[in-house]
Amino acid sequence: MDQLWTMAASDLRQRVRDKSVVIFAVVVPLALMVVFNLVFGGTEDLELEPVTVAAAVPDDDDLGRVVVAALGEVGSPEVTVREVDADEVRQLAEAGTAQLGIVVPDGFSDALAQGDAPVVQMVEGDGAGIESDILVAVVQGVLDQLGAGAVAAAAAGELGLPHEQIGAIAQQAATAGPVVDLAEGEASSEQLSGLGTLVAGQAGLFLLFTVGFGVLSLVAEREQGTLARLRSMPMRPGLVVAAKALVSFVLGVVATSVLLVAGSLMFGVDFGSPLAVGALVVCAVTAATSLMLVIARLARTAEQANIVQSILAIALGTAGGAFFPLTAGGVVGQLLDLNPVAAFIRGLGITSGGGGLADVGVPVLYMLGFTLVVVAASRLLPDRGRAL
């Protein structure tokens, strides 16, 4: 046991003195968090500018005024409706005085009552943006509802109903309220916020690179002949590999913890219970470290080990949602759930929502199960490095 700690402590000192470990395990992922936040973040703070609408509506057209009145009920953006003549609408829109122009044709209400489909003209002004797109969508929704009256009137006419009943049916269909009520709900407690997913994803991705420093040093020593001399010493077989795995484990725990704490402070993310988060970190690092055993047996040289490690890290990180969430069903979805990066992010979502140590059992089982499968696979793979 003393030999294990001695070799691990010596290797850790070398890794700490190597600035590339600190840069790649901490500095680079933190820098990427900042960059991704600048590129993709900030949508929650989006402010909509006030909008002026030039509207031409016949004075005696009640349903036409319903279309325009709906714009005044929009909470954001702030809408100012300016009533003008029909020939002025396009001029004001093209001049940029109005961001949106609406022309309701004469006889709009009568046409709907008869089952016809009158055309409402909308003109987006010069420099129109997302605010105008929102108002266009609102107007389109109102017109769709009013259009239901035209469909009802046409159907009533086909049935031979009296003219008075046709108008009443069209009016009722056009002004009826929604048949489905929408209620605002809360997101699942197992979902991280956008910034939380960013921090957790980058921590999980670079964890796979951080633990690789142990296997890279193992392969490098094997190339240099140092490993053969160590194995010739009076120690149990596999002690050298165990020391390298311990180094990878310690580096992974420290780097991941630093990233989560720094990300929490930088972006105001709360991952919840420190005990539960610590358990997730330990399990995630254990799963990532198990991959070192596979790489050590597959790679003949340090260059090959670096390539295999990068492929596995990018593949598992991307599939686990390090850059953007992936959803799938069936067998593919089940395979994605077994990904340790995905399980790590899901577990942090549970703790962030208030879950404790007892609530992260499923993600922990996924990561430990992944570890057992990978360790078992490493025992079956041929050790290509022994041929050197």
Q: Which residue has the higher pLDDT, 304 or 325?
A: 304
Q: Which domain holds residue 134?
A: 47-175
Residues 226 and 85 reside in one and the same domain: no
Residues 204 and 241 reside in one and the same domain: yes
- State residue 50 phi and psi, 5-degree precision: -60, 150
pTM higher than the cut 0.75: no
Confidence of residue 279 (pLDDT cuts 50, 70, 90): very high
Instruction: Tell me the residue type at 115.
Output: G
Instruction: Provide the percentage of residues in the chain whose pLDDT is more than 70.
Output: 74
Asked if residue 52 belongs to a domain, the reply is yes
Residues 25 and 157 reside in one and the same domain: no
Residues 239 and 324 reside in one and the same domain: yes
Q: In this model, does residue 295 exceed pLDDT 80?
A: yes
Domain final residue pick, 175, 204, 221: 175
Residues 322 and 196 reside in one and the same domain: yes
Q: In this model, does residue 127 exceed pLDDT 70?
A: no
User: What does the pLDDT read at residue 283?
Assistant: 94
Residues 132 and 247 reside in one and the same domain: no
Residues 345 and 258 reside in one and the same domain: yes
The average pLDDT across 14-20 equals 76
Q: In this model, does residue 41 exceed pLDDT 90?
A: no
Residues 75 and 201 reside in one and the same domain: no
Angstrom distance (rounded) from CA 271 to CA 281:
12
Residues 230 and 378 reside in one and the same domain: yes
The average pLDDT across 245-249 equals 86
Q: What is the average pLDDT value for the chain, to the nearest integer? A: 78
Query: Which of 111, 92, 106 shows the shortest CA–CA distance to 59?
Result: 106
Query: Hey, which bits of 78-135 come out as E strands?
Result: 79-83, 100-103, 121-124
Asked if residue 186 belongs to a domain, the reply is no
Residues 327 and 351 reside in one and the same domain: yes
User: What does the pLDDT read at residue 70?
Assistant: 81
The average pLDDT across 218-226 equals 69
Asked if 243 and 327 touch (Cβ cutoff 8 Å), the reply is: no
Over residues 154-205, the pLDDT tens digits come to 665 666 666 666 556 555 555 555 444 444 444 445 578 778 888 998 999 9
Which of 235-239, 290-294, 320-324 has the lowest average pLDDT?
235-239
Confidence of residue 347 (pLDDT cuts 50, 70, 90): very high
Asked if residue 187 belongs to a domain, the reply is no
Asked if residue 185 belongs to a domain, the reply is no
Asked if residue 349 belongs to a domain, the reply is yes
User: What does the pLDDT read at residue 213?
Assistant: 80
Number of domains making up the chain: 2
User: What does the pLDDT read at residue 198?
Assistant: 87
CATH code of residue 79: 3.40.190
Residues 159 and 245 reside in one and the same domain: no
Alpha helix (H) ranges present in 268-339? 274-298, 302-319, 330-337
User: What does the pLDDT read at residue 262?
Assistant: 92
Asked if residue 182 belongs to a domain, the reply is no
Confidence of residue 85 (pLDDT cuts 50, 70, 90): confident
User: What does the pLDDT read at residue 94?
Assistant: 81
Q: In this model, does residue 47 exceed pLDDT 60?
A: yes
User: What does the pLDDT read at residue 123?
Assistant: 85
Asked if 262 and 225 touch (Cβ cutoff 8 Å), the reply is: no
User: What does the pLDDT read at residue 302?
Assistant: 75
Asked if residue 183 belongs to a domain, the reply is no
Q: Which residue has the higher pLDDT, 164 or 211?
A: 211
Q: In this model, does residue 367 exceed pLDDT 70?
A: yes
User: What does the pLDDT read at residue 88?
Assistant: 87
Residues 231 and 98 reside in one and the same domain: no
Asked if residue 198 belongs to a domain, the reply is yes
Instruction: Provide the percentage of residues in the chain whose pLDDT is more than 90.
Output: 14
Tell me how crowded residue 267 is: count the other CB atoms within 10 A of its CB.
17
Number of H helices, E strands in the chain: 17, 4
User: What does the pLDDT read at residue 388?
Assistant: 39
Asked if 305 and 215 touch (Cβ cutoff 8 Å), the reply is: yes
Q: Which residue has the higher pLDDT, 232 or 280?
A: 280
Cα 294–Cα 276–Cα 332 angle in degrees, nearest 5: 50
Angstrom distance (rounded) from CA 301 to CA 282:
29
